[in-house]
Amino acid sequence: MSYENDLATNYTISDDYKTYTVQIRDDVKFTDNTPLDAEDVAFTYNEAKKTGASLDLSNMNNATAVNPTTVQFDLNKSDSTFLDKLAYIGIVPSDSYNNETYGSNPVGSGPYKFAQWDKGQQVILERNDNYYGDQPEFKKLTILFAKNEASFNAAKNKEVDVSAVPLAYAKENVDGYTMYLMDSIDVRGISLPTKMNTGEKNPDGGDVGNNVTGDIAIRKALNYGIDRTSLCEGALNGIGYPNYDGIAHQLPWANNATAIEDGDIAKANETLEKAGWVDSDGDGIREKNGTKASFELYYSSDAPERQAIAVSVSEQAKEMGIEVKAIGSNWDEMDGIKNSQAIVWGFGSTDPSTIWSEYHSSQAGVGYNNPSYVNNSVVDQHIDNAFKQSRESSYSEWSNAVWDGSHGISPQGDASWLWIGEIKYGYFVDDSLDISNDTALLQPHGGDIFGNIYDWKRVSSIEK
């Protein structure tokens, strides 16, 4: 996998992967008509590190503008994935940026500029005629904040050109629209806390550990017994692929060796019996030393496919004598219990260092990182080695962190996650619109249908 230059014109990387030097274009203006230069790039990254933005920049010491078209990034440790961070953040103007107000009145340098925001309803973007790249055909984009059934109804009522819908609606027929199912690198899985609850707290004061999932026999049994193919057919509406390693199959560090013969209830039951989990009172739920094989599984209640996954896992787990209580929630609540309760998650990135955030012991309990509290020195070593190698040669180390034949987080190893499947993204598209499906990007976590907006065309008149 590789990146194409956009704002950047060239870059060099030091042999130790601690210094990245990037040359940028000299003809770019922000949407407020001020010039964009290396000072703005350096400011953006330094500010992102200072404010603790969604991107982890703890490896970066600082960014420095060497001259108006050159910026240098100095790191405190080797990081062959830092190029991925340079493709993630949009550059902001250093002279006018205000962290308190930028979100409601953003200034950028892309093909569209902010025009209007009606909170909770819509945002309107207008074409940026000063954009340095290819100009899209459409002068204005109106993005409605509609989800799930409301988004589906917007298509049925012919109120929109494009409607993103949950997979539950993807096989519906809507007159005048075509359903586009786009492959993604987005994977759904369930974190299974690996520690026992001994009173330990995470850095935010939340509980750590679960006395059911903290037993590896429970985690392995679920990985053996859950039928992922059946789950993909049901919970994902037959639109997706089983997954065992949390890495989409299109990515070069995916680990095919993690695939197991799942749906094996006999093996799951044998694993539990050997570990001392038995149903001694005949209520259908195993117990061990007075502890019932019962735990809670939380999911975001506004995500239908996560609810379907949680409910399906709950039903299948009954065959193993494990009670899984599916509970709809929100991220404010789940933030406080993420290290003590099982949660349905979604992950997907072209940046392999997400494996570090998901599994490295140093990240246990840090924000949303490593929710299962994985602590495996062999996994850590594979990850540490990967950062010191070229991107291409590091793929095997990232893959080995998941399973190297003896150690890893996979079903054969610590089974610290119950990975379920890779999803697709479904969009109803008005037949008058050509979204150039041939040039559509592989969808990231959260989706990004606008990635090829330059290629969109209106192919016939419409009546709405």
* Structure token digits, residue 110: 């892309």
Burial class for 103, CB neighbours closer than 10 Å (0-12, 13-18, 19+):
exposed
Q: Give the span between the Cα atoms of 455 and 434, in whole angstroms.
A: 8
Specify the DSSP class assigned to residue 460: S
Give the pLDDT of residue 462. 60
Q: Give the span between the Cα atoms of 183 and 425, in whole angstroms.
A: 7
Give the pLDDT of residue 172. 96
With a pLDDT cut of 70, the percent of the chain lying above it is: 99
Give the pLDDT of residue 52. 78
C-alpha triplet 356, 200, 419: angle, nearest 5°? 40
Q: What is the mean pLDDT of the chain?
A: 96
Give the pLDDT of residue 381. 99
Give the pLDDT of residue 3. 87
pLDDT tens column, 64-113: 999 999 999 999 999 999 999 999 899 999 999 988 888 889 999 999 99
* For residue 53, pLDDT beyond 90: no
Confidence band for 463, pLDDT divided at 50, 70 and 90: low
> Within 10 Å of residue 40's Cβ, how many Cβ atoms?
22
pLDDT tens column, 136-185: 999 999 999 999 999 999 999 999 999 999 999 999 999 999 999 999 99
Give the pLDDT of residue 279. 98
Give the pLDDT of residue 411. 98
* For residue 17, pLDDT beyond 90: yes
More confident site: 430 or 463: 430
Confidence band for 43, pLDDT divided at 50, 70 and 90: very high
Domains contained in the chain, CATH given: 8-104 (3.40.190.10), 112-180+430-458 (3.40.190.10), 185-422 (3.10.105.10)
Query: Strand runs (DSSP E) across 112-215, as ranges?
Result: 112-118, 122-127, 140-144, 162-165, 177-191
pTM of whole model > 0.85? yes
* Partners of 62 in the β-ladder: 74
Give the pLDDT of residue 103. 86
Q: What average pLDDT does the segment 37-55 reach?
A: 91
C-alpha triplet 81, 82, 85: angle, nearest 5°? 110
Q: Give the span between the Cα atoms of 160 and 430, in whole angstroms.
A: 8
SS (H, E, C) 375-424: CCHHHHHHHHHHHCCCHHHHHHHHHHHHECCCCECCCCCCCCEEEEEEEE
Confidence band for 54, pLDDT divided at 50, 70 and 90: confident
Give the pLDDT of residue 55. 84
Give the pLDDT of residue 99. 86
Q: In what order do the strands lie in the sheet with 70-75?
A: 8-13, 19-24, 70-75, 60-67
Q: What average pLDDT does the segment 321-341 reach?
A: 98
Q: Which amino acid is at 338?
A: K
Give the pLDDT of residue 441. 85
